A and B are shown apart, each in its own frame.
Chain A
Amino acid sequence: MGDKTPSCQHGNTGTPQGDTGPVAFARAYAGLPLPATLNWWWTFGAVLVAVLGLMLATGLFLALTYTPDAGLAFSSVESIERRVPYGWLLRAMHMTGASFCMAALYVHILRGLYYRSYLPPRRAVWGSGCALMAMLMVTAFAGYVLPWGQMSYWGADVAGRAVATLPLVGGWLGRMVLGGENPGTATLHRMFVLHFALAFVIIGGIALHVMVLHRRGSSSPSGRLVSARDRMLPFHPYFTVRDMLAVVLVALAFVLVMGLWPELIAEPANYRPANPLHTPVDIEPEWYFLPFYGMMQVVPYQLGGVLLAGGAVAVLFAVPWLDRGGRAGEHPIVRLLALALMVVAAVMAASAGRHHAQGVWLLAGRVAIAVYYAYFLLFLPWLGGAGLPDAQDDDEKEARA
C-alpha cells in the first residue's frame, strides 16, 4: 500500500492550458493541494458553510411569513410556530442554526489562533475571515431583534444606547440604528433589511475567503511555511470525505439539541411580547455575545465599556500584525495554555455578564478583560518576537500566483 501513497504538487497541475469552462474550474478547486497533516480542527470551515447554507434556506422561508412591524412581528412569529405548515421546524432550525453557526465560528477562529493560520502569506485569509465574523455578528444580532419579544426589544435598546455613547457620531448613529429614540417599527424594518441583505453579502464574503485561501494555500498544523517537503493531498476525495463526516457529526449534535434539548439555546423571556413599559430584571444577550456584554458591564465608564467590548472583537483584525511570526512551530504547550487562558477569560467575562457584574463578579469580569487582552497584546507579540525571516512572502506569493 505504501508505494501507492498519492501526492500532489504545489499549485494546480494537470489542467490543460486554455481550458476555462466550469468543469475545469470545479476540477481545479477539487484538486487543491492540502497538507496531509491537516487535522480535524480544519473541518470547521466546511461545517460553517453547511450551517450557513441551512440558515439561508430556512431564513428565506421564514421571511415569507414574518412581518417587520412592532404591532405584528410577535404574532407573525407565533403563527410561524403554531400554524404555518412545518413553521415550527423552520424556526427551530433557524434558531438552533444561529447558535451552532456562532459556535462553529468560534472554534474556527480558535483553530486559526492556535495554529497561527494568520501568518504570512495568509494575512488576507485571516482579514477576510475577520470581516465575515463581524458581519455574522451583526446579522445574528439583527436576527435576534426580529421576533420582538422582551429580550429582542431590550437588547435593541441596550445596543442603541451603547452605540449612542460613542463620541461625535454616537447620537446620530444610535438614531440611525433604531430609527428613532426608542426601538419600534422603524427598528424592525432596519433590522430585517440588515439581516436579509447581510446574509447575501456574507455569501459573497465566503466566496472571497475561499478564493483567497486557494491563492495563498492552506495553513498546516506544523505552523511552519508549507515547503516542498510536505506531502500534499488533493482536496477531493481526501478532505471532502472528512468534511462530510464532520458535517454529519455536527448535524447529529444539531438535531439532538433542536429536537430533545431546545432549552439549551432558547431564551424563554423572548416568548413574552415586547413591552416598552416593563424593563426585564435580567437583560441578557444570547450566549455568543455574553463575553462582550460582560466586558461592557464591568467597566465603570459607559464609553470605556463599549470600547473595550468592541475592541475585544476588533483586536482579532490586528492579530497578524501583533504576532510577527517568530518561533514558528515552537512552544505548542505554551500556546495551548495561553489560548486556554484566553478562553477561560472569555467564559469568565460571560459569567460576569450573567450576574449583573456585582461584587465578586465585577472583579472577575475585570480580571477577565485583562487576561483576554493580555493574550493579544502581550503573549502574541512575545511569541512572534523574533519576526519572520521572509515577512515579505505575501507579495512574493501573490506575484507567483
Chain B
Amino acid sequence: MSRFMVACAAARSVRGVRLVLAGVLLLAAPGLAAADSKPGAPPAWSFNGPLGHFDLESVQRGYAVYAAVCSACHGLEQVHFSDLAGMGLKVEDIQALSAARQIADGLDAQGRVQRRPARPDDRILSPYVSPAAARAANGGVVPPDLSRIVMVRPGGASRIYSLLTGYAPNAQWQDDRGFRNPYGINNFTAMPPPLHDGGVQYADGTAPTATQQARDVTTFLAWISAPHQDERRRLGVGAGLYLCFLAALFMILTRRIWSHVRK
C-alpha cells in the first residue's frame, strides 16, 4: 500500500519537477544549489560486501527520486518498467507508474513525434529524442544512461553519493567546465546540483532531505545495476552449504574406497 503511494507521489511530481529542472538547465540558476550539500562521507551501504542485501524500502524511495528528478535528463535504457517488480512493486503499481510517463511512439502523419503513456513492457528511455538533442540541452554533454552506472563508474555507489552531495555551496556553471564538484571528472561535472531538501515527496513519511534523497537514489541505482544480486548471493550461500555437505559425503566415500589400498 505504502509502496503504491510512493509510486503515485513519484508520478505526480514528475512533470512539475521536470519543468523546474528545465528552468535550471536553461538559466543554470545559481541560487538553487542544495542547502546542505556538504561533501559528506558516504554511508555504510547495506548492499556492499559478499553477504550484503538491498534495503528495498530505500530502493523504492530511490525510484521516486529518479522519477521526480533524474529522469528529467537520464534514461534507464536497458530497463523495462516491468523490471521494477523486483523492488517489491505489484503489477497494478507498475501499470500506474508506467502510465504516468509519456514516451515517444513513432511519427504522426505530419512527421511530428507522437507521444503516448508508457506501458509496463516499455523501456525507461532518455527524455531526449536523440543524442544531439540531449547535447544541445545540456551544454554539449549527453547525460549518461544510468542502467549500469554503479557498476561501470569507478568508485561505484559511494562515488555517486559523494557526487550528488559534494557540490560547493552556491555552485555555479563555469565556462565550458561545468559545476565545481570534487567527485566529478577533473573536479567538475556538467550536472547542475540535482537534489534539494523537500524536492521530492516520500509517501512513507521519511523526511526528504537532500542527503536522504542522495542515499536513496544511490541505493536505487545500485539495485538497478545488479537487480538479481541478493538472489545470487542467497544462491551462493545455499549452494555453498549444500556442496560442503556433499563434499563431506564424498570425502567419507573416498576414504572408505581407498582404505582397501595398501599404502
Closest to B256 in A: A241
The yes or no answer to A226 lying at the interface (CB within 8 A) is: no
Query: Residues of A contacting B251 with CB < 8 Å?
Result: 245
Interface string of A208-250 (1 = CB under 8 A from B): 0000000000000000000000000100011001101100110
- Can you show 20 pairs from A to B with CB atoms below 8 A apart? A5-B261, A36-B261, A75-B78, A82-B80, A238-B257, A241-B250, A244-B250, A245-B253, A252-B244, A255-B235, A255-B240, A256-B240, A258-B232, A258-B236, A259-B232, A259-B233, A259-B234, A260-B240, A271-B152, A272-B148
Q: How far is the CA of A379 from the CA of B83 in the complex (A)?
A: 58
Evaluate contact between A83 and B261: CB separation under 8 angstroms.
no
Q: How far is the CA of A241 from the CA of B237 in the complex (A)?
A: 25
The yes or no answer to B43 lying at the interface (CB within 8 A) is: no
The yes or no answer to B91 lying at the interface (CB within 8 A) is: no
The yes or no answer to A88 lying at the interface (CB within 8 A) is: yes
The yes or no answer to A1 lying at the interface (CB within 8 A) is: yes
The yes or no answer to A269 lying at the interface (CB within 8 A) is: yes
**Shortest CB distance A282–B (Å):** 11
4 further interface pairs, Cβ-Cβ under 8 Å (given A78-B147, A241-B254, A262-B232): A83-B83, A259-B234, A268-B152, A272-B148
Q: How far is the CA of A89 from the CA of B148 in the complex (A)?
A: 18
The yes or no answer to A251 lying at the interface (CB within 8 A) is: yes
Query: Residues of A contacting B235 with CB < 8 Å?
Result: 89, 255, 259
A78-B78 contact in complex given A241-B253, A268-B151, C-beta closer than 8 Å: yes
Interface string of B226-263 (1 = CB under 8 A from A): 01100111111101100110110011011001111110
**Shortest CB distance A338–B (Å):** 30
A1-B50 contact in complex given A78-B147, A259-B236, C-beta closer than 8 Å: no
The yes or no answer to A4 lying at the interface (CB within 8 A) is: yes
The yes or no answer to A389 lying at the interface (CB within 8 A) is: no
The yes or no answer to B19 lying at the interface (CB within 8 A) is: no
Q: How far is the CA of A313 from the CA of B51 in the complex (A)?
A: 39
The yes or no answer to B162 lying at the interface (CB within 8 A) is: no
Q: How far is the CA of A245 from the CA of B50 in the complex (A)?
A: 26
Interface string of B31-49 (1 = CB under 8 A from A): 0000000000000000000
Closest to A271 in B: B148
Q: How far is the CA of A75 from the CA of B235 in the complex (A)?
A: 25
5 smallest CB-CB distances across A and B, nearest first, come from: A259-B236, A260-B50, A245-B250, A78-B78, A88-B228
Query: Residues of B contacting A18 with CB < 8 Å?
Result: none
Query: Residues of B contacting A248 with CB < 8 Å?
Result: 243, 246-247, 250
The yes or no answer to B89 lying at the interface (CB within 8 A) is: no
Query: Residues of B contacting A22 with CB < 8 Å?
Result: none
**Interface on B for A, CB 8 Å cutoff?**
50-51, 78-80, 82-83, 147-148, 151-152, 227-228, 231-237, 239-240, 243-244, 246-247, 250-251, 253-254, 257-262
Evaluate contact between A88 and B232: CB separation under 8 angstroms.
yes
Interface string of A249-278 (1 = CB under 8 A from B): 101100110111110000011011000000
Closest to B234 in A: A259
Evaluate contact between A261 and B50: CB separation under 8 angstroms.
yes
The yes or no answer to A92 lying at the interface (CB within 8 A) is: yes
**Interface on A for B, CB 8 Å cutoff?**
1-2, 4-6, 36, 75, 78-79, 81-83, 88-89, 92, 233, 237-238, 241-242, 244-245, 248-249, 251-252, 255-256, 258-262, 268-269, 271-272
Evaluate contact between B243 and A260: CB separation under 8 angstroms.
no
A4-B50 contact in complex given A89-B232, A259-B239, C-beta closer than 8 Å: no
Closest to B250 in A: A245
Q: How far is the CA of A216 from the CA of B208 in the complex (A)?
A: 74
Evaluate contact between B152 and A255: CB separation under 8 angstroms.
no
Evaluate contact between A2 and B262: CB separation under 8 angstroms.
yes
**Shortest CB distance B59–A (Å):** 15
**Shortest CB distance A40–B (Å):** 11
**Shortest CB distance B23–A (Å):** 31
Evaluate contact between B83 and A256: CB separation under 8 angstroms.
no
Query: Residues of A contacting B237 with CB < 8 Å?
Result: 259-260
Query: Residues of B contacting A262 with CB < 8 Å?
Result: 232
**Shortest CB distance B48–A (Å):** 11
Evaluate contact between B260 and A6: CB separation under 8 angstroms.
yes
Q: How far is the CA of A238 from the CA of B254 in the complex (A)?
A: 8
Q: How far is the CA of A88 from the CA of B225 in the complex (A)?
A: 12
Query: Residues of A contacting B232 with CB < 8 Å?
Result: 88-89, 92, 258-259, 262
A1-B259 contact in complex given A245-B251, A259-B233, A268-B152, C-beta closer than 8 Å: yes
Query: Residues of B contacting A258 with CB < 8 Å?
Result: 232, 236
Evaluate contact between B247 and A260: CB separation under 8 angstroms.
no
Evaluate contact between B152 and A272: CB separation under 8 angstroms.
yes
Closest to A6 in B: B260
When the two chains form the complex, which single residue of B50, B231, B243, B254 contacts A252, counting CB atoms closer than 8 Å? B243
Q: How far is the CA of A251 from the CA of B240 in the complex (A)?
A: 9
**Shortest CB distance A30–B (Å):** 14
Query: Residues of B contacting A2 with CB < 8 Å?
Result: 262
Q: How far is the CA of A81 from the CA of B229 in the complex (A)?
A: 11
A269-B152 contact in complex given A252-B240, A259-B235, C-beta closer than 8 Å: yes
Evaluate contact between A242 and B261: CB separation under 8 angstroms.
no
Query: Residues of A contacting B79 with CB < 8 Å?
Result: 82
When the two chains form the complex, which single residue of B147, B243, B253 contacts A255, counting CB atoms closer than 8 Å? B243
A82-B78 contact in complex given A5-B261, A252-B244, A258-B232, C-beta closer than 8 Å: yes
Closest to B247 in A: A248
Evaluate contact between A251 and B233: CB separation under 8 angstroms.
no
Evaluate contact between A245 and B78: CB separation under 8 angstroms.
no
Evaluate contact between A271 and B261: CB separation under 8 angstroms.
no
Q: How far is the CA of A233 from the CA of B231 in the complex (A)?
A: 44
A245-B247 contact in complex given A259-B233, A261-B50, A271-B148, C-beta closer than 8 Å: yes
A242-B233 contact in complex given A82-B83, A248-B247, C-beta closer than 8 Å: no
